[in-house]
């Protein structure tokens, strides 16, 4: 089996999807999760710019300028979709109507806090909908590379500005699945072929390791797709 880090992460995150729930996928890596919805699971994906039940990009020439995702790319809509204004969109997000959001991360710390919107000294982008998503979604799954340029992204304490005070639910990386708990960061799973020692070495924060750490399961690749 050959797959890159992003695909691995997306296929592991896909197993967190609960049937008949509303899910928001952040821009970038999290978007990939939509490709690996497990068989038998039906979720509605929300895009914070105002649609629930969107579909992938339509064939060339069938794009509608009034129908895009939160990254501004053309999308389609599934039968039964709902379009709505921005206040309603964030009523859904802040009001706890999302079972899960999947977001990228710059850092996660030992307390389970996430930083993903700003690096002081670098060009400022803005938080967009990230702060609302982290506060409002019932479960916040962070999908990110375990390290950036050799530097651990899982750290004892955030050195970047936090996105929210709230403790996130799960971190899925190319090396491990880690769950922030009351006692600290719990190492739940390791990526195929990766040892616990390798994970510990690549992690800046202390982790709880209880017994044998199983290999992470991943969602099957969709039919017709390579891999």
Partner 1 sequence: MRIAINAEEAAKLVPDGASVMVAGFLGVGTPERLVEALVARGARGLTVIGNDTARPGLGIGKLIDAGCVARVVASHIGTNPVTQRKMLAGEIQVDLVPQGTLAERIRAGGAGLGGVLTPTGVGTAAADGKRVIELDGREFLLEPPLRADVALLHAHEADHFFNLAYRLTATNFNPVMALAADCVIAEADEVVPIGVIPPDAVRTSGILVDYLVARGR
Q: Which of 7, 48, 63, 189 is catalytic?
A: 48
Shortest distance, CB of residue 114 to partner 1, whole angstroms? Answer: 10
Q: Which part of the chain contacts partner 1 (CB under 8 A), choosing from 51-59, 178-186, 204-212, 217-225?
A: 51-59
The Cα 16–Cα 73 span in angstroms is 26
* Binding-site string for partner 1 from residue 143 to residue 172, where x marks contact by CB under 8 A and - marks none: ------------------xxxxx-------
- In Å, how far from its chain's centre is CA 88? 22
Hunting for tokens 């009523």 — which residue is that? 91
| Sole binder of partner 1 in the list 28, 57, 124, 220 (CB under 8 A) | 124
Shortest distance, CB of residue 113 to partner 1, whole angstroms? Answer: 8
Report the relative pairing of strands 107-109 and 154-155 from DSSP bridges.
parallel
Shortest distance, CB of residue 145 to partner 1, whole angstroms? Answer: 19
Question: Among this protein's residues, is 7 annotated catalytic?
Answer: no
Residue 56, both tokens: 């992938």
The Cα 117–Cα 161 span in angstroms is 8
Nearer to partner 1, 84 or 198 (CB): 84
Residue 166, both tokens: 């709230």
How many chain residues are in contact with partner 1, going by CB under 8 A? 57
> Under the criterion CB under 8 A, does residue 119 sit at the interface with partner 1?
no
- In Å, how far from its chain's centre is CA 167? 14
- Those residues with Cβ within 8 angstroms of residue 56's Cβ, 6 or more apart along the chain or in another chain: 34, 75, 76
Q: Which of 134, 22, 124, 120 is nearest to 80 (CA)?
A: 22
> Under the criterion CB under 8 A, does residue 86 sit at the interface with partner 1?
yes
> Under the criterion CB under 8 A, does residue 28 sit at the interface with partner 1?
no
Nearer to partner 1, 8 or 29 (CB): 29
C-alpha distance from residue 78 to each of 10, 90, 95, 211 (Å): 22, 21, 24, 44
Applying CB under 8 A, the residues found at the interface with partner 1 are 20-22, 44, 47-53, 64-72, 77, 79-87, 89-97, 118, 123-132, 135-136, 161-165
């Amino acid at each position: 089996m050959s797959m890159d880090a992003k695909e691995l992460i997306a296929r592991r995150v896909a197993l967190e999807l609960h049937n008949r729930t509303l899910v928001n996928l952040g821009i970038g890596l999290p978007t990939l999760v939509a490709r690996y919805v497990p068989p038998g699971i039906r979720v509605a994906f929300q895009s914070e710019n105002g649609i629930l039940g969107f579909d992938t990009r339509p064939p060339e020439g069938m794009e509608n300028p009034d129908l895009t995702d939160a990254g501004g790319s053309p999308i389609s809509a599934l039968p039964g979709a709902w379009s709505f204004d921005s206040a309603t969109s964030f009523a859904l997000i802040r009001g706890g109507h999302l079972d899960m959001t999947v977001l990228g991360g710059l850092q996660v710390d030992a307390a389970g806090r996430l930083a993903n919107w700003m690096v002081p000294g670098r060009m400022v982008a803005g938080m967009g909908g990230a702060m609302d998503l982290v506060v409002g979604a019932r479960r916040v799954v962070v999908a990110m590379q375990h390290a950036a340029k050799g530097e651990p992204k899982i750290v004892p304490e955030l050195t970047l500005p936090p996105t929210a005070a709230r403790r996130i639910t799960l971190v899925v990386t190319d090396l491990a699945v880690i769950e922030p708990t009351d006692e600290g960061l719990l190492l739940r799973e390791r990526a195929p072929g990766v040892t616990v020692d390798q994970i510990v070495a690549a992690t800046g924060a202390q982790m709880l390791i209880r017994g044998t750490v199983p290999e992470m399961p991943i969602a099957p690749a969709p039919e017709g797709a390579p891999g």
